[in-house]
Amino acid sequence: MFEGPLQDLIDELSRLPGVGPKSAQRIAFHLLQVEPEDVNRLIGALGAVRDGVTFCRICCNISRSDVCRICADSGRDRGTICVIEEPKDIQVIERTGEFNGRYHVLGGALDPLANVGPKDLTISTLLQRIGGVLPDRELADSTKDTPLYDDAPEITEVILATDPNTEGEATASYLGRLLKDFPDLTISRLASGMPLGGDLEFVDELTLSRALSGRLKL
């Protein structure tokens, strides 16, 4: 245990995800030694992250402005939406270079045990995007010039890319049922494949059963 501000800093740092007490101590001592301007830059970044970040009104991704970089990109296919749980999932899919549509960030997954229901996710926003209708008046943006949602592009495909765990699967099947009401919409779920370079006998049962039920025709 240290005294005063140093211990306070260590305590605060150890609250961060992925930072244990030892790392917190190491970061705190590092900050004691660096140049004041480096510390000030960090303080500035910490302050700005709360005030300078907003959510895209189309896809609910974290954004600097009203519409995020991806939704504003006219080179992307506006008809395809990839539904993911968290903003960080976008980076993962972007890295594959295989997807050129737009995203929808749910803000989590359905989890009855943690009291996360459909209302806690951005499901109604998703439905409004697909339906192309404006939301209830109380949800609508007060400024007339900015429609709350997209200027109604024709959505033709929704890819459900929630996590391949119990909550993610439950969320995907819930959304799948809801989206069946849109007859012209293609709905797909990310294929759950076998790990490449793996051996069949080491694949867990859940992965194997998903791979079997989602098998591809050759």
Residues near Zn ion (CB under 5 A): 56, 58-59, 61, 68, 71
| Residue number, 56 or 179, with CB nearest to Zn ion | 56
Q: Which is nearer to Zn ion, 68 or 175 (CB)?
A: 68
**DSSP annotation of 15:** T
**Residue 111 or 150 having the CB closest to Zn ion:** 150
**Tokens in use for 122?**
């951005």
Which of 212, 205, 96, 204 is closest to 159 using CA atoms?
96
Task: Give which of 118, 90, 91, 119 is closest to 104, Cα–Cα.
Answer: 90
Q: How far is the CB of 70 from Zn ion (least distance, A)?
A: 5
Minimum separation from the CB atom of position 214 to Zn ion (A): 28
Which residues make beta-bridge pairs with 186? 157
CA-to-CA dists, residue 117 to 79, 95, 104, 167, angstroms: 27, 30, 17, 11
Give the shortest CB-140-to-Zn ion separation in angstroms: 18
User: Between 140 and 203, whose beta carbon lies closer to Zn ion?
Assistant: 140
Q: How far is the CB of 162 from Zn ion (least distance, A)?
A: 18
